[in-house]
């Protein structure tokens, strides 16, 4: 079952189309990466998926309804979106931030604040201020908030940015667990080819269009990556090393 679907979506910031006839879908429980060079349209795609932008043509479907037909609270039950830049110094305690995820509900949400904090490993820091946490812990706190929100689709814009390798893999395993156990679809933009290689599926974008999509091994070939990122010369050694390193760490932490 598809939880999110782009149906020939066209979007422009001016008279010139930026995204043109964009189509793809997410299945329940998938961990999908959105990759491409700067300016490819990754953040725009995520904002359209979140309902923060509206397409000029086509539809963004969430479940069996266009996202624009949902009320604010209804949409929050379907979609959770975390931008690349978070207010990580917000003057809230961890528990207060996570409890904000209860907004769409009038009691009876699927995951309680306590359960969400246990899932992300922050139950022992519920009374800590966000400013007292490490960068990786803060991102996990925001993810706990989205779990309480109970959305079926989780959209993350560069969630691995500014995180060291340990926190990147901690977050990867957390998202994988959420997708598998909760049936949540995760769409995340990222730059790292090695990390992309260990996701379920990749969408590769350039200049507002999808170059290709599919399993990482079929998407991250030398030829496709060179063409998408306008690279000169062979990068096979780098790609092979990066993929092997990330797969080794992913398996070790599984």
Q: How far is CA 219 from the centre of its chain?
A: 18
- C-alpha closest to that of 3 among 151, 124, 145: 151
User: Measured between alpha carbons, how far is 138 from 146 in angstroms, rounded to an integer?
Assistant: 13
Sign, CA dihedral 105-180-62-121, equals positive
* Per-residue pLDDT tens digits of the chain, which is 254 residues long: 679 999 999 999 886 778 989 999 999 999 999 999 998 999 999 999 999 999 999 999 998 899 999 998 889 889 999 988 876 667 899 999 999 998 887 665 668 899 889 888 899 999 999 989 888 888 889 888 988 888 889 999 998 877 778 878 888 888 898 899 889 999 999 988 888 988 999 999 999 899 999 999 999 988 898 899 888 765 655 566 666 655 665 665 55
All domains of the chain in start order, with CATH: 2-87+151-252 (3.40.50.300)
Produce one character per residue of 176-213: b if its CB has 16 or more CB atoms within 10 Å, e if not.
Answer: bebbeebebbbbbbbbebbbbbbbbbbbbbbebbbbeb
In this structure, what token pair is assigned to residue 157? Answer: 């814009």
* DSSP class per residue in 47-87: HHHHTSS--SEEEEEETTEEGGGS-HHHHHHHEEEE-SS--
């Amino acid at each position: 079952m598809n939880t999110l679907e782009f149906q020939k979506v066209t979007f422009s910031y001016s008279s010139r189309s930026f995204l043109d006839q964009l189509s793809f879908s997410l299945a329940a429980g998938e961990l999908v990466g959105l990759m491409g060079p700067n300016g490819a349209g990754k953040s725009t795609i995520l904002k359209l998926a979140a309902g923060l932008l509206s397409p000029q043509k086509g539809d963004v479907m969430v479940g069996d309804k266009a996202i624009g037909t949902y009320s604010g609270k209804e949409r929050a039950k379907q979609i959770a979106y975390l931008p690349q830049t978070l207010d990580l110094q917000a003057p809230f305690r961890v528990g207060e931030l996570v409890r904000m995820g209860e907004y769409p509900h009038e009691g009876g949400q699927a995951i309680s604040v306590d359960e969400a904090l246990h899932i992300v490993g922050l139950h022992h820091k519920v009374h800590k201020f966000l400013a007292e946490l490490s960068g990786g812990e803060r991102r996990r706190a925001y993810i706990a908030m989205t779990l309480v929100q109970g959305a079926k689709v989780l959209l993350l814009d560069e969630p691995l940015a500014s995180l060291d390798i340990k926190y990147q893999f901690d977050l990867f395993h957390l998202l994988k667990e959420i997708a598998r156990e909760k049936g949540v679809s995760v769409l995340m933009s990222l730059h790292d080819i090695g990390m992309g290689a260990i996701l379920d599926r990749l969408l590769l974008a350039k200049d507002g269009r999808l170059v290709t999509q599919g399993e990482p091994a079929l998407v991250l070939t030398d030829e496709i990556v060179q063409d998408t990122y306008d690279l000169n010369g062979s990068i096979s050694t780098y790609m092979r090393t990066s993929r092997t390193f990330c797969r080794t760490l992913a398996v070790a932490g599984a």
